[in-house]
Structure 1
Amino acid sequence: MTDLDIEIDDKGILIPEAEQTAVSLLGGLAQIRVPGKTTRDSFTVVEHTGKRGYNTPLHYHHIEDEVFIVLDGALRMVCDGKEQLAEAGTTMVIPRMIAHGFVAISDEVRFLTIHSTPELGNKPQFDLFLAAEMPAAHAARTPTEGIGPDLDHIIALGTTYGYSYAGPAPMP
């Protein structure tokens, strides 16, 4: 895993997996598939894998909309206080400033998150947060619980990366 150092042009770009950043995040694996700098800072794509119980606390993004696309397994999503089941094949769109969180309720889960910025002048922050603040992980495996910064540290980083804590994580 390396910091992607590429020239952006209008002809497209191939990003080999070896050049994608993979990090441990709250007991799961987050792999930055498309960093914001490759899209002129218009969006970021992150692939998440985890086991039952992989979750994030309720939080909201100040400048990013977020889209979840569940590829395998199932998540219990909480969005604006409402719980919903997101199984393989489902998509959930979460506008910025809406509190949300998830928990994996299947034995294993794999999903994409797409972070976009609807206002000119803003750029996605989630990939920057992952690359700068989370410990590198081997992309071929899902990390075990206890790897990476604790939740208090992640919450404290919110002002730097444009998100705020909104409550505890959903439980399986």
Structure 2
Amino acid sequence: MNKERSSPAGDRRAPFWFLGGQARILVPSTATGGSLSVMEFTDSKGHAPPLHVHEAEDEIWIVLDGEVTFFIGDDRHDLHAGAVAHGPRGVPHSYLVRSPNARLVVAFGPAGIETWFAANGSPIVDVNDAPAPFDIEAVIASAQAHRLRVTGPPPAA
């Protein structure tokens, strides 16, 4: 059996569960002097984080695989593999996976928020396991320290 063991606080490139999907840190803030971090997210159809605002960083989303709708302020962007969207700091945003699966690369500038994702993640013990359960209230409460706040429910199809 192929097992991938990781700890969100350990190997930063190892995948971990986050809000029902897989995440991994590709470029941590320590590699860029805090100017930029890059993460990868793999989510299944219907996955949507709550509407939220980053007060401290901008985001750039690059869809690698699948179809994803991004909600940025009052705008809606239906994107497919190869498309890019920008989420400016201070603007509420979220996304909704429309295809069976989607894979995104997300750049954050400045860096630092990747530590929040890792701290709220769960290790992937076996890549064939179902996503780990999570406590959304605890995740939301811990976000305040990173100037990240939830402003609404996840978008629906």
TM-score range, shorter chain: 0.7 to 0.9
Q: Distance in 2 between matches of 1:29 and 1:125?
A: 19
**TM-score when normalising by structure 1:** 0.80
Q: Which runs of 5+ in 2 are unaligned?
A: 1-5
Aligned position for 2:31: 38
Q: Distance in 1 between matches of 2:129 and 2:49?
A: 15
Pair 1:167 & 2:152 matched: yes
Deviations 1:21-63 (A, max 9, x none): 4221111101111111111111111011111012211101111
Deviations 1:57-81 (A, max 9, x none): 1101111100000010011111102
Distance change in 2, residues 1:142/1:34 (3 Å): farther
SS of the equivalent of 1:55 reads coil
Q: Distance in 2 between matches of 1:27 and 1:130?
A: 12
Q: Distance in 2 between matches of 1:126 and 1:137?
A: 20
Aligned position for 2:118: 131
Q: Which runs of 5+ in 1 are unaligned?
A: 5-17, 118-123
Aligned position for 1:141: 127
How many residues align? The count is 151
Q: Select the residue among 64, 87, 94 that pairs with 1:71.
A: 64
**TM-score when normalising by structure 2:** 0.87
Identity among equivalent pairs (%): 26
Q: Give the RMSD, CA atoms, in angstroms.
A: 2.0
SS of the equivalent of 2:138 reads helix
Moved over 3 A (4+): 1-4, 140-145
Q: Distance in 2 between matches of 1:22 and 1:167?
A: 27
SS of the equivalent of 2:17 reads strand
After superposition, residues 86-97 of structure 1 pair within 5 angstroms as 86-97=79-90
